[in-house]
Structure 1
Amino acid sequence: MGASISRPNLRAIQGVQNEVLSEKKAFSLPGIIISPEKLTFALTLRHSAIEASAHPMIVTSAVAPGFNIEYVNPAFERITGYSNAEVIGRNCKFLQGTDQNQPELEEIRAALREQREGNSVLRNYRKDGSMFWNHLYVAPVSNNQGIVTHFVASHYDITVAKNNEAKLMRMAYHDELTGLPNRALLRDRLLQALALAGRYSSQVWVLFISLNRFKTVNDSFGHKGSDSVLMIIAHRLRDAIRESDTLARWGDDEFVVVMPEKPAGKLAIAALQRMIAVVNRAIVFGGQEFFLNCSMGVTRYPQDGEHVDMLLDRADIAAHHAKRKGDNDFQFHTVDMSKLALKRLRIEADLRLAIEREEFVLHYQPQVNLGSGFINGMEALIRWQHPKQGLLYPADFIDIAEETGLIIPIGAWVLRAACTQNKQWQEEGLPSIKVAVNLSLRQFTQQNLAQSFAKVLDDIGLSPKELELELTESLIMSDVDQAIAVLRDIKALGVAISVDDFGTGYSSLSYLKLLPIDMLKIDRTFVSDIGAGDGDDAAIVTSIITLAHALKLRVIAEGVETLQQLNYLRRNGCDEMQGFFFSEPLSAEAFAQILRSGKRLPLCRTLRNSIL
């Protein structure tokens, strides 16, 4: 900042003042003789300089406690709005208005008491009440006996610089979209909360909040819509916390809350439930009403960690456990969670290597026509031949692959490997059958999905009718309109489509009849209870078969393990089955062998207990 009178200028003015106090008598300095005429000129020059200054200047008495104003320049009048007549004889504290508790004032008060130079940045207020930032310099003025008689104060309006600084600070420490504290400010607030909690032996809770299925909002309304929804959620969460709490935006659809314990009482689970409830409330956007929910992980200081990073990381881990347990829930961190998280990190690292080293293999489970008893298809099931842990099943790694996005290259490998194997068996003269391949949500939401399937089939030379894609009911229903469009493109290729785990989701009949699908697959949980319990699951199986046939769809039951289950399915018109009763999933070599043998189901429903 430039200034017409700097601190060195102030010292020059002090020297002139000393000359004035010598009663205009000539006096000498080493090598200099100053006449009364020169003193008069010096006084005139001093006055003109102060009057012309662009910055406010004040001369006050050095008499405590008032230090009353004796002179202000025109710049002071212009910038503050106070006239010379309104301020002469007053103490300067009126410039702070009611804002008297500024710690920076103590430096100015100390400088006046100690009769020395001092400076501070203060909030001052104009006559109209508007605030401006003032960098104030004060310096004592002494007479020729060395007694301080006055103080000279220069004001520098640094409001523009302070506003720019505030904007930069806000950009550095606040989220641009929501205005909430960002990660940097959150860490600072949490550090302060931990210091206070350690001093007073109290608790701090750290909440990690992750919105569930937020991607569907972005897919439905675009970035503008998803930004609006995030702002709504941020506003709701901010209203749901206390003034002493800190809400920060952590990531795209993630928030963190720091809750210090108040002296008056303990932190309560009701606070967590309140935050979940505000996320659950209906959101209206673009004329549509929809609902979101969240998963929340909670850590507590000092039980779950004594450091910022430890508490944040463990809260994140707990949130992931809450999400796996089920939407709209919270989980407190436990030691077992951290152990499991480390295990999952190791699996993720190993998975990346497994893709590079092609450590995956496919097993195939026969799908059998209940009318003829012969195999008419197979489901391709991935296995991981881990170099240290041996053969791993999907339950050991598929969820991690889905979370990390590794399911995309793994799924592409499964599709190509299964189609290649099917084509190879045909070329060896084995019966032509379809191969069913499972699709995950991440795979299903890829761009140009149908075109990628067409390319694989064309590269391998496999007929589309010999490929079936299995999608879960919940995957399809997460965005029905989008699913219908994608499935129609796939169906146009001639590829069959099956809905897996049917009966466990939330399909409505109005949507089901619009889906371009070929088969419903009855979930094993219903099949396993046939012949046991109160018979409700058996009735559900019958209902699914009837519904499917009414919609001109075929039905396959999975998890068939007993003759009783098989006979029930046959009696009620189920079209196909797969399960241990006929065969477990087999290696490619073993599956080829049963194809060559012509193995089939027994056609007799009650007399024979083994498979021919």
Structure 2
Amino acid sequence: MVTSTLDSLLVAAPTFVARAFLPDRDRYVVMFTILVIALTLTIYILAYWHKRDRLKLTSSLNEARRRLSMLASTDVLTSLPNREDIFRRVQNEIDRALATTSNLHVVYLNLDSFKAFNDSYGVAIGDSLLRALGARMASVAPPGCVVGRIGGDEFVIVMPHSTSGRVLEFAQMLVTNTRQGIRVDTGDLLRITLSIGLASAPRDGDTADVLLKNASCAMSVIKSAGGNGCRHYSQEMQTSPLRRLQIQHALQDALESDGFRLHFQPKFGGDDRLIRGAEALIRWTHHDLGVVPPLEFIPIAESVGLINQIGNWVIRQACLQIRQWDREGLPPVRLAVNLSPRQLKQPGLVQVVKSIVKNHGVDANRLMFEITEAVAIEDSEETSASIKEFQAMGFDIAIDDFGTGYSSLAYLQRFRARQLKIDRFFTRGLDDHGTEGYAIVSAIIGLAHTLKMQVVAEGVETRSQLEKLRELQCDQVQGYLLGKPMDAKEFELFVRNHVPEPA
């Protein structure tokens, strides 16, 4: 339309020139016509500019809206999905899983000792570490998974269309991967450990809030046990604030009134099925709280400073039971006792144990102390010194849950443990993971035997697992297939009546 108006002006120009010398009245008519045309042209030009500016403004508003939407769903530090976006995605995936009767798994991660790390290296390096960790997880996560940052040093990985076994393998890989080191902006390689909780929908929660809360609960259990590992959520982990307070008060009463009990799970020779020893396991039944599993009360005992007293009680009871069985003529039984991470850092622990054993007249070779792999690789001065003192006194050390953390030859050589206990995950893998599972267990047994260590397979529950372990020359086996945990009297009868199966 602007073009047509200009054309009209060009046509009218000669007429204007011709009439420039007309009488005044006609001249006024011509000038008025020119004014109208000029105003019309101005209006069209202004309309064009307005439309152009409006388009620019609309585009800018859309870009601003897009940026605001991105900021609302993206973590500024790591550029990963933030808490709100993760919760929304998890809920969407739960709805999809419920509609299609499929599963959804979430992996909840937390860096061990991140506050101490920040205090030592500074916030800038801490932020760099979080960015690098987020990028590492995003690069190794399976296709279709989403990695997000919940806040602080906590991350979540959403894993649809997977199995519990594969999710656990992935979580264990993350633990191993990060211990090998993460390079930050300064170029330094920082070795860190993770505490990881796992949960699956709809079994562990049918809303995002519940599912992520339960995954966080499982992470907290691992963290309270020393970190550097992963665990799947179970109902036993859920402790309400009121129940936690009740347990906390009841723990002291249990110590003072001898409310705990020891149960014993036998360990058998891998080839001859003879009873080679037993693991001492603490049990607690309260008159109001009912059966309180160790997974529930041990973290609370650690948090309120009672774990050392409970650990010392277990060692005393184990010594008393050994003496009692000896008096009753039971064949000598060697007991394995678990030591918690907090216990190992107890000042004077070795002298306390030495005094208990001496007072009860028990030889050191009748007790074996089990420490988790996470504790073994920690390499703190207190832990290393305690283990070496125990060995100098004649006590043997076993590495429990082998394979759940960063399985390094360095700590195996450093501690020279007597036994290596294969985690039940690998035992199950003999059935669940075919030739790959068999190859992994074979490699672990071969490694241990090369280092002159015995191997104990935990969690043996099927005949096929038992036969495969026998083929692989596993030294000892332990599990419900052969013998469940039982109280002292039941265990005594079990030992007396036990007839080894033919090899």
Q: Distance in 2 between matches of 1:428 and 1:509?
A: 43
User: What displacement does 1:346 show?
Assistant: 2.2
The reply to whether residue 323 of structure 1 matches residue 214 of structure 2 is: no
Q: Which residue in the other structure is 2:305 paired with?
A: 405
Q: Name the amino acid aligned to 1:416.
A: R
Question: Could you list the runs of 5+ residues in structure 1 that have no partner in the other structure?
Answer: 1-209, 218-225, 241-268, 296-315, 329-336, 605-612
Q: Which residue in the other structure is 1:602 paired with?
A: 501
User: What displacement does 1:466 show?
Assistant: 0.4
User: What displacement does 1:425 show?
Assistant: 0.6
Q: Secondary structure at the match of 1:358?
A: coil
Q: Secondary structure at the match of 1:442?
A: helix
The reply to whether residue 593 of structure 1 matches residue 493 of structure 2 is: yes
Q: Which residue in the other structure is 2:120 paired with?
A: 229
CA contact (8 A) 1:499 1:519 kept: yes
Q: How has the CA–CA distance of structure 1 residues 344 and 294 changed in structure 2, closer, same or farther, with 3 Å as cutoff? A: same
Match of 1:437 among 328, 337, 342: 337
CA contact (8 A) 1:401 1:407 kept: yes
Q: How has the CA–CA distance of structure 1 residues 350 and 577 changed in structure 2, closer, same or farther, with 3 Å as cutoff? A: same
The reply to whether residue 519 of structure 1 matches residue 419 of structure 2 is: yes
Alignment of 1:76-91 (within 5 A): none
1:290-319 Cα offsets, whole Å, 9 max, x none, are 558899xxxxxxxxxxxxxxxxxxxx9998
Q: How has the CA–CA distance of structure 1 residues 283 and 386 changed in structure 2, closer, same or farther, with 3 Å as cutoff? A: farther
Q: Secondary structure at the match of 2:113?
A: coil
CA contact (8 A) 1:378 1:435 kept: yes
User: What displacement does 1:428 show?
Assistant: 1.6
Alignment of 1:127-276 (within 5 A): 212-213=112-113, 229=120, 232-233=122-123, 273=151
CA contact (8 A) 1:469 1:495 kept: yes
Give the root-mean-square deviation of aligned CA atoms: 3.9
Q: Secondary structure at the match of 1:437?
A: strand
1:238-276 Cα offsets, whole Å, 9 max, x none, are xx9xxxxxxxxxxxxxxxxxxxxxxxxxxxx98865776
Match of 2:445 among 542, 545, 561: 545
Larger RCO, structures 1/2 (Cα 8 Å, 6+ apart): 2
Q: Secondary structure at the match of 1:530?
A: helix
Q: Which residue in the other structure is 1:487 paired with?
A: 387
- Higher Rg of the two aligned structures: 1
Q: Which residue in the other structure is 2:472 paired with?
A: 572
CA contact (8 A) 1:368 1:578 kept: yes
User: What displacement does 1:402 show?
Assistant: 2.4
CA contact (8 A) 2:272 2:501 kept: no
Q: How has the CA–CA distance of structure 1 residues 211 and 356 changed in structure 2, closer, same or farther, with 3 Å as cutoff? A: farther
User: What displacement does 1:388 show?
Assistant: 2.1
1:106-138 Cα offsets, whole Å, 9 max, x none, are xxxxxxxxxxxxxxxxxxxxxxxxxxxxxxxxx
CA contact (8 A) 2:271 2:473 kept: no
Match of 2:259 among 338, 359, 384: 359
Q: Which has the higher strand share?
A: 1
Q: Distance in 2 between matches of 1:341 and 1:283?
A: 41
CA contact (8 A) 1:531 1:564 kept: yes
* Aligned-residue identity in percent: 37
Match of 2:249 among 345, 349, 360: 349
Q: Which residue in the other structure is 2:179 paired with?
A: none
Q: Which residue in the other structure is 2:97 paired with?
A: none
1:401-420 Cα offsets, whole Å, 9 max, x none, are 22332211111101110111
Q: Name the amino acid aligned to 1:555.
A: V
TM-score by length of 2: 0.57
Size of the alignment, in residue pairs? 327
Q: Which residue in the other structure is 1:22 paired with?
A: none
Q: How has the CA–CA distance of structure 1 residues 276 and 502 changed in structure 2, closer, same or farther, with 3 Å as cutoff? A: closer
CA contact (8 A) 1:470 1:499 kept: yes
Q: Distance in 1 between matches of 2:215 and 2:473?
A: 46
Question: Could you list the runs of 5+ residues in structure 2 that have no partner in the other structure?
Answer: 1-109, 131-146, 156-181, 197-212, 229-236
Q: Distance in 2 between matches of 1:590 and 1:556?
A: 23
Q: Which has the higher helix share?
A: 2
Q: How has the CA–CA distance of structure 1 residues 534 and 371 changed in structure 2, closer, same or farther, with 3 Å as cutoff? A: closer
Q: Distance in 2 between matches of 1:561 and 1:293?
A: 30
